Structure 1
Amino acid sequence: MKVYLKDDILCIHYEDLPSYKKGGSVVRNSYFWALKSIACYARKGADWEFDQPVWVALSRMLLSFTESGYLGYSETILEFPIDTQIPEVLRSVSTWL
């Protein structure tokens, strides 16, 4: 998932967010709701924002979904621009583009 930092807020590009599909995969729908539940801003068609207090929870959640094996690595890894320093708490679930 492509991400960027804006004033100490982690933003996930809306085109990389999981989608909710009625009658779809339970795991993917759970992933959608789990991400949405800890976002400080999550509107349809917009980038979702995560403030610093939830970064630990976000990291743990991404690791958990990655280790489950039900979602692809590209769906659970945060991809930062190459010129961005990755915050320590997010390093285990992040890479650079």
Structure 2
Amino acid sequence: MRVVALQDDILCIHQDDLPPYKKGGSVVRNSYFWALKSIACYTPRQGDWEFDRVVWVALGRMLMAFTTSGYLGSSETTLEFPEAIAIPESLRSVATYL
């Protein structure tokens, strides 16, 4: 699961929960890495990735597509929110609480 934080309409995925890019690794996992990176607004090399509210619908659709493809499990594509934060409607299909 991808542990997330939400602050000022920015969704952050913790760096330890980001998919790794591995040269010569799985094509699906590397595609997942690049797909997430391509819609993020900020992706520091050693830090959390940030996603603006305007891409949340795309993020949800992308996570659902990777989940339903059968190549990645829901444990890798589900966003996990702290209980104190309401899950945004556009991400409810791909999110749960810690």
**Normalised-by-shorter TM-score class:** over 0.9
State the 4+ residue runs in structure 1 displaced beyond 6 angstroms: none
The answer on 1:37 being equivalent to 2:10 is: no
Q: Distance in 2 between matches of 1:56 and 1:73?
A: 18
How much is the aligned-residue C-alpha RMSD, in angstroms? 0.5
| CA deviation map 1:35-83 (0-9, x unaligned) | 0000000111100000011001000000000001111211100000011
Q: Secondary structure at the match of 1:22?
A: coil
Structure 1 residues not aligned, in runs of 5+:
none
| CA deviation map 1:2-46 (0-9, x unaligned) | 001011100000000001000000000000000000000011110
Instruction: Tell me the TM-score normalised to structure 1 length.
Output: 0.98
What percentage of aligned pairs have identical amino acids? 72
Q: Distance in 2 between matches of 1:33 and 1:65?
A: 13
Q: Distance in 2 between matches of 1:24 and 1:7?
A: 35
Instruction: Tell me the TM-score normalised to structure 2 length.
Output: 0.97
The residue that corresponds to 2:63 in the other structure is 62
The residue that corresponds to 2:72 in the other structure is 71
For these two proteins, the number of residue pairs brought into alignment is 97
